[in-house]
């Protein structure tokens, strides 16, 4: 992995009681030892693999102003990180779920792109066996489950300040409150809506097929081609490129898929990240609620699975063998 650490700062927020988060600040930057490099590489890998929301700085963002000063050399990285940790403590302290943690500021380069990653990492306890085969406790940073993380694409921010996607963040397992507190700390607003872009793509595909009067199998085959391209991009860590997608799809009638989307005003970006859960709708139907979870291939609708919209009833012909076995056992009283 060609990840080059430029600067890395580490501080801590310690919860002393229910109403107080104490700052523990380092006086020096963290030296880039092999252990530090491995931690940075792991954090980059884990973060890159997660689904992220996009944002951009507000005009009055204190963090953005401080970062600009740091980039201009008016302030050093350590001072920037110490002041930012203080602002983070102030924001986090407003919420009852505040637990503190290790605050990390990682300035690095990857594939010619410069990033600043900010994360709050929790420590976990585990057990280890030493060389004398004695068992002792140990603490480690729980990077795999980190959910309070944001990353600024410094290259994009400085070369294209009108962008709506140079800042990314995780929404967090606690829900919207985590996203709200972190966006307040960053002084940022939600930018590119990835799910909306993917939903727009799906709607455009359905409308394009409908305009061409394709039958059911032809429509589903077309959706499958779109899914294959998008999923390949997702697996490769690349974005969906509307021009490339259109080039791989056979034109339906006189217009290419890209020309159709432009004429109909779907407002799709030229490139945008793939959203796994949205793209699944190209090939599957899925839903859950009220104790019921269903997931089936789209091709089965109208063949083995039938929906009556009047009564909102699904009829399934031919149940999976393992489900059928459970049903037989339960209904026979065994």
pLDDT tens readout for residues 36-53: 999 999 999 999 888 788
Q: Specify the pLDDT at position 25.
A: 94
Q: Specify the pLDDT at position 172.
A: 54
Who's near 155: CB < 8 A, 6+ residues apart? 112, 113, 114
pLDDT, mean of residues 269-289? 88
Q: Specify the pLDDT at position 179.
A: 59
Residue 213 has pLDDT above 70, yes or no: yes
Who's near 28: CB < 8 A, 6+ residues apart? 78
pLDDT digits (tens, 9 = 90+) for 71-114: 999 999 999 999 999 999 888 877 776 678 899 999 999 988 99
Q: What is the DSSP string of 169-235?
A: E---TT-HHHHHHHHHHHTEEE---HHHHHHHHHHHHHHHHHHTT--HHHHHHHHHHHHHHHHHHHH
Q: Specify the pLDDT at position 171.
A: 65
CA distance 285 to 53: 24
In sequence order, the β-bridge partners of residue 272 are: 240
In sequence order, the β-bridge partners of residue 135 are: 129
Who's near 238: CB < 8 A, 6+ residues apart? none
Q: How confident is the model at residue 1 (pLDDT cuts 50, 70, 90)?
A: low
pLDDT digits (tens, 9 = 90+) for 140-194: 788 888 888 999 999 999 999 889 889 998 865 544 455 577 888 999 988 888 8
Report the candidate in 128, 142, 139 with the shortest Cα–Cα distance to residue 43.
142
Instruction: Spell out the alpha helix ranges (H) of the chain.
Output: 34-49, 62-71, 77-92, 154-159, 176-186, 194-211, 216-235, 242-248, 257-264, 276-279, 321-331
Residue 231 has pLDDT above 50, yes or no: yes
Direct distance between the N- and C-terminal alpha carbons of the chain, in angstroms, rounded to an integer: 56
Q: CA Rg, the chain, in Å?
A: 25
Q: Specify the pLDDT at position 216.
A: 83
Residue 242 C-alpha from the chain's centroid: 21
For residue 216, count other CB atoms closer than 10 A to its CB. 12
SS3 10: strand
Who's near 6: CB < 8 A, 6+ residues apart? 107, 108, 109, 114
CA distance 95 to 104: 20
CA distance 221 to 107: 45
pLDDT, mean of residues 20-24? 86
Q: Specify the pLDDT at position 224.
A: 93
Q: Specify the pLDDT at position 175.
A: 46
Q: Specify the pLDDT at position 176.
A: 47
Q: How confident is the model at residue 118 (pLDDT cuts 50, 70, 90)?
A: very high
SS3 333: coil
Q: Specify the pLDDT at position 195.
A: 87
Run of H or E residues at 150:
strand 148-153
Residue 334 has pLDDT above 60, yes or no: no
Please provide the average confidence, as pLDDT, over all residues in the chain. 87
Q: Specify the pLDDT at position 100.
A: 80
Q: Specify the pLDDT at position 178.
A: 53
Q: How confident is the model at residue 217 (pLDDT cuts 50, 70, 90)?
A: confident
CA distance 146 to 128: 22
Neighbour-count burial for 18-56, b at 16+ CB within 10 Å, e otherwise: eeebeeeeeeebbeeeeeebebbbebbeebeeeebbbbb
Q: Specify the pLDDT at position 116.
A: 97
């Amino acid at each position: 992995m060609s990840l080059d650490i430029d600067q890395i700062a580490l501080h801590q927020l310690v919860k002393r009681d229910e109403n107080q988060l104490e700052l523990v600040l380092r006086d020096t930057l963290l030296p880039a030892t092999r252990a530090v490099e491995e931690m940075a590489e792991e954090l980059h890998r884990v973060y890159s693999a997660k689904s992220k929301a996009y944002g951009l700085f507000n005009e009055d963002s204190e963090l953005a102003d401080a970062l600009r000063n740091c980039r201009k050399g008016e302030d050093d990285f350590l001072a920037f990180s110490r002041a930012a940790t203080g602002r983070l403590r102030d924001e986090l302290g407003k919420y009852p779920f505040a637990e503190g943690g290790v605050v990390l500021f990682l300035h690095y380069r990857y594939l010619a792109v410069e990033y600043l990653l900010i994360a709050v990492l929790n420590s976990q306890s585990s057990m280890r066996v030493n060389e004398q085969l004695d068992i002792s406790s140990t603490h480690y940073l729980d990077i795999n489950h980190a959910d309070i993380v944001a990353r600024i694409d410094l290259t994009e921010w400085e070369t294209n300040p009108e962008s709506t996607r140079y800042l990314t963040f995780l929404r967090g397992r606690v829900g919207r409150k985590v996203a709200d507190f972190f966006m307040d700390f960053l002084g940022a607003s939600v930018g590119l809506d990835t799910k909306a872009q993917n939903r727009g793509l799906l709607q455009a595909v359905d409308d394009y097929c409908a305009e061409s009067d394709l039958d059911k199998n032809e429509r589903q085959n077309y959706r499958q081609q779109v899914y294959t391209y998008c999923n390949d991009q997702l697996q490769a860590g690349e974005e969906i490129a509307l021009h490339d997608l259109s080039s791989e799809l056979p034109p339906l009638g006189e217009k290419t898929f890209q020309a159709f989307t432009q004429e109909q005003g779907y407002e799709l970006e030229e490139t945008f990240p793939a959203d796994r859960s949205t793209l699944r709708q190209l090939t599957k139907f899925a839903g859950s609620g009220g104790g019921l979870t269903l997931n089936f291939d789209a091709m089965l609708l109208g063949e083995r699975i039938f929906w009556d919209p009047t009564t909102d009833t699904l009829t399934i012909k031919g149940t999976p063998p393992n489900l059928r076995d459970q049903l037989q056992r339960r209904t026979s009283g065994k």
